[in-house]
């Protein structure tokens, strides 16, 4: 097994490569953002399944060298582009502008462009590129929030500034995994509304898991709660919605490549034991003790979920993102020890 380490260091954005102004109608751009594990990819897949997205171009940013999210999106391969190995709001600013410029030069111009930002991106910075680029128009900034993790992230000294900056950049705030108790739910929504002044708040009355993230928010169901929040216009301490970069260089990601299989229950147990330093884990693996079939693993908010999956182009890989610490290094060492040989498994496609 090979482990690759990358630091999420900030750098300046450079909107180079923008296309010249066209007489054609501007292509609308939607930025889809939210902290690690908030449900961004699931939201896109829900929109695709509902038929809301036609002839669009989808740009998917991920923080590692292997883009797990782009392999999880169920859309035409030629219309899903990967922006890997960095945060698109900082290290990939130039790359994003170049991709957008190429999109405008396509013979079949996209009807719209969806940009799924990494979980450590400030969406305001990404929106700036669409606002300034000739031929593009910023249509929406959708920020997803995992309600079950909101209080924790708001108080986390490592990521709270970034998390607040994401919320204050939202035009629409999609809140999932809400508490079932109505009083708790309304109190939480009111608090979130104050953190995203002027944004439209969209939520579901039930508690969502990853299979149901944003299932109703894109379908206009009657159970949907949709209201404009008139909250304080002040930004939280440390948050900069005007485009100032939020430093997230204290985070670390490790990309683990496997040639064997991993025991599903043992892996999730290890992830849960390190939940204080682990924000996100995701990837595609073959489970030990089975017949060699592929599964996707999504872990966030102390919850691990396995789903059957076809053979991924990434191969067997697991991306872990957490705070820079000895504990995080210990997590990686324990995961590396879980790999088992494939000799007794049937290799399924």
Query: Mind listing the pLDDT tens digit for each residue in 273-310?
Result: 999 999 999 999 998 876 668 999 999 988 888 989 88
Average pLDDT over residues 6-31: 55
Instruction: Find the mean pLDDT for residues 227-253.
Output: 44
84 pLDDT tier (thresholds 50, 70, 90):
low
Least confident of 4-8, 92-96, 113-117: 4-8
Q: Which residue has the higher pLDDT, 237 or 60?
A: 60
Q: What is the pLDDT of residue 245?
A: 34
Q: How many helices (H) and strands (E) does the chain have?
A: 9, 16
Q: Residues near 55 by Cβ (< 8 Å), separated by ≥ 6?
A: 79, 108, 110, 111
Whether pLDDT at 240 is above 50? no
Q: Which segment, 21-35, 56-70, 84-98, 187-201, is predicted with the most confidence on average?
A: 187-201
Q: What whole-number distance in Å separates Cα of residue 139 and Cα of residue 30?
A: 5
The 10 Å Cβ neighbour count of residue 2 is 9
Report helix, strand or coil for 174.
strand
SS3 234: coil
- Cα angle value 92/97/102 (rounded, 5°): 125
Spatial distance between the Cα atoms of 277 and 6, rounded to a whole number of angstroms: 17
Mean pLDDT of the chain: 76
Lowest-confidence pick of 38-42, 140-144, 218-222, 248-252: 218-222
């Amino acid at each position: 097994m090979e482990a690759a380490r990358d630091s999420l260091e900030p750098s300046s954005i450079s909107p180079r490569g923008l296309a010249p102004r066209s007489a054609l109608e501007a292509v609308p751009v939607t930025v889809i953002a939210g902290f690690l594990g908030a449900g961004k990819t699931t939201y896109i897949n829900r929109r695709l399944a509902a038929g809301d997205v036609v002839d669009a171009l989808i740009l998917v940013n991920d923080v590692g060298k292997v883009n797990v999210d782009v392999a999880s999106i169920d859309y035409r391969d030629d219309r899903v582009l990967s922006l890997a190995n960095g945060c698109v709001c900082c290290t990939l600013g130039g790359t994003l502008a170049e991709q957008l410029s190429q999109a405008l030069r396509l013979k079949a111009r996209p009807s719209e462009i969806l940009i799924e930002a990494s979980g450590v991106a400030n969406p305001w910075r990404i929106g700036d590129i669409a606002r300034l680029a000739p031929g593009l128009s910023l249509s929406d900034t959708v920020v997803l929030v995992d309600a079950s993790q909101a209080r924790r992230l708001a108080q986390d000294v490592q990521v709270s500034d970034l998390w607040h900056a994401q919320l204050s950049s939202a035009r629409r705030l999609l809140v999932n995994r809400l508490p079932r108790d109505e009083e708790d739910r309304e109190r939480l929504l009111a608090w979130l509304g104050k953190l995203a002044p002027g944004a439209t708040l969209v939520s579901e009355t039930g508690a969502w898991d990853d299979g149901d993230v944003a299932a109703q928010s894109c379908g206009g169901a009657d159970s949907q709660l949709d209201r404009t929040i008139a909250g304080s216009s002040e930004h939280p301490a440390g948050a900069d919605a005007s485009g100032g970069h939020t430093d997230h260089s204290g985070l670390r990601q490790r990309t683990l490549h496997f040639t064997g299989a991993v025991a599903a229950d043992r892996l999730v147990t290890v992830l849960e034991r390190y939940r204080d330093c682990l924000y996100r884990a995701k990837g595609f693996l073959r489970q030990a003790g089975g017949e060699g079939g592929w599964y996707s693993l999504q872990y966030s908010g102390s919850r691990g979920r396995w789903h059957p999956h076809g053979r991924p182009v990434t191969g067997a890989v697991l991306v872990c993102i957490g705070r820079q610490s000895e504990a995080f290094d210990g997590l990686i060492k324990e995961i590396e020890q879980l790999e088992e040989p494939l000799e007794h498994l049937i290799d399924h496609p």
